[in-house]
Amino acid sequence: MTGRDDLTDDPAVDLADDLLALLLRIGDDHLILGHRLSEWCGHAPMLEEDLALPNMALDLIGTARMCYGYAAEIEGGGRSEDDYAFLRDGTDFRHMLMAERPNGDFAHTMLRQFLFAAWMHPLWDGLTGAPDARLADHAGKAVKEMAYHIRHSGEWVIRLGDGTTESAHRMRAALDDLVPYIGEMFESDDTAARLVAAGLLPDPTTVRAAFDSTVARTFTMAQLPPLEISTGISGGRAGRHGEVLGHLLVEMQFMQRAYPGLTW
């Protein structure tokens, strides 16, 4: 920690630490999931989706850039957004585990994207009036992006879930794979509780209600069973990640590791 005394009792400083933690959680969720979506580029099942998937990836990476840029300013240690993305090791990342899960098949990727957007949409919606101009301003843009992600991925969830025997089988399998990772979205801790109290995170019950309603509407049309969220697998917010993250970082960070300071 550079630029301030960590032993201070000043509540404004605590809140700055909490905001920094929030920016890294959200930023890492978006960067890692954005990278996963970008892996489809050139491999999607049809040209139309080969453009749609990178479009969504770029939305997510745009949010990550905002988060890292803002985090760097709060931290005041001279780091740039690239330092957060390319020069941190796996245990420094704070994304939830669902974000790093491998893409699987197209049904798996679409369901994961739908679940993520169904969660982020009400979160951004609640932040549009946040007492932090930077966050509130970005929320206004991100809420529209998430609305489109819900629509795009949701329509696919419906068509695959209520499609052929093969597509329905794959969508059910994707749901079985992803259910254990949903609980982490709704975990809370002291940091999150203080952010809610400060208006820098929306009330978790509001977010959960919106998520449940979006999911229920789409799952009904997709002939999927009602979603039951269990405690499941977590640890991402504490930096405990799966082996898959290492493989992802090797590819994502290769250029900066092999050629430090390289620019386009």
Partner 1 sequence: MSDDAKNPKPENPVSQNLMPLWEVFIRPRTGLAHSHVGSVHASDEVMAVQAARDVYTRRGEGVSIWVVPSASITASDPDQRDENFEPTASKIYRHPSFYDIPDDVGHM
The footprint of partner 1 (CB under 8 A) covers 46-49, 51-52, 55, 151-152, 155, 159, 164, 166, 169
Question: In angstroms, what is the minimal distance from the CB of 112 to partner 1?
Answer: 18
Q: For partner 1, which is the closer residue by CB, 151 or 217? A: 151
Tell me how far, at minimum, the Cβ of 139 lies from partner 1, in Å.
Answer: 21
Cα–Cα separations (whole angstroms), residue 48 to 35, 60, 73, 152, 167: 19, 19, 38, 12, 19
Shortest separation between residue 54's beta carbon and partner 1, angstroms: 9
- Taking the least distance from each CB to partner 1, the nearer of 51 and 193 is 51
**Least distance to partner 1, CB of residue 51, Å:** 5
CA 85/CA 253 separation, integer angstroms: 8
**Measured from the CB atom, is 112 or 152 closer to partner 1?**
152
| Cβ distance to partner 1 smaller for residue 173 or 233 | 173
Nearest to 31 by CA among 71, 4, 68: 68
Residue 5 or 48 with smaller CB distance to partner 1 = 48
Least separation in angstroms between residue 141's CB and partner 1 is 14
Cβ-based burial of 136 (10 A; exposed 0-12, middle 13-18, buried ≥19): middle
